[in-house]
Amino acid sequence: MAAVVEAEASQSARPSRPSVTRPVSSTAELATSIPPQKQTLYENTYITGPSGYGESYVFKRRKVQDVIRQALQERMEGGRYDPVKGAQQAKQLADDVRERVKALGFERHKLVVMVTLGQKQGQGQRVVSRCLWDMHTDGWASEVIESETVFCTCQVYALYFE
């Protein structure tokens, strides 16, 4: 028994050898060492418009206009124009409107929200835009709110994508 204990003690006293890793010599070895991943294949639906997915996917202008009107009234009620904070207010309002419109469930539409905020000093204002789109699938909604010192226009463009 004593001889066995001495042999084990002498082996543990030896310095251990560093592990040597073998370099991969070819891409074939590398391909066999990595487990294959499952690939998801999708079949064509041949649906080319939002109406093919159901009525909830079609852009509804009236609902969007109500959302824009509500957001503008909440944010702009009793507000005064501040030239320093004007750009920040317009960006926050555009983000708020975009999130509210997304909540309506237009999942297959890309949304573009434009907000114009300015000081009202007796001048006239006209906002015009041109777009190239499909009249059957794309849509837009717009709303304007004015107070004594500030005007704000908001346009939402919904572009259908597959």
Distance CA 101, CA 59 (A): 10
Least confident range of 19-23, 63-67, 81-85? 19-23
Whether 90 has a pLDDT exceeding 80, the answer reads yes
**Six token digits for residue 17:** 């050898």
Distance CA 152, CA 61 (A): 19
Q: What is the pLDDT of residue 153?
A: 93
In this predicted structure, which of 4-8, 45-49, 129-133, 136-140 has the lowest mean pLDDT? 4-8
Return phi, psi of residue 43, to 5°: -90, 155
Task: Please give the angle made by the CA atoms of 68, 72 and 73, to the nearest 5 degrees.
Answer: 120
Helices (H), the chain: 2-13, 27-33, 61-76, 86-102
Better-predicted residue by pLDDT, 157 or 78: 157
Q: Is the pLDDT of residue 151 over 60?
A: yes
| 50 pLDDT higher than 80 | no
CA distances from 133 to 57, 92, 99 (A): 17, 27, 23
Cα–Cα distance measured from residue 114 to residue 97, given in angstroms and rounded to the nearest whole number: 10
Place domain 50-160 in its CATH homologous superfamily. Tctex-1 (3.30.1140.40)
Give the range among 43-47, 68-72, 111-115, 155-159 with minimum mean pLDDT.
43-47
Q: Which two tokens stand for residue 4?
A: 């066995």
| pLDDT of 33 over the 70 cut | no
First to last CA, the chain: 79
Per the structure block, which two tokens stand in for 12? Answer: 């543990």
In the chain, the percentage of residues whose pLDDT exceeds 90 is 33
Give dist(CA 6, CA 12) in Å, integer.
Answer: 10
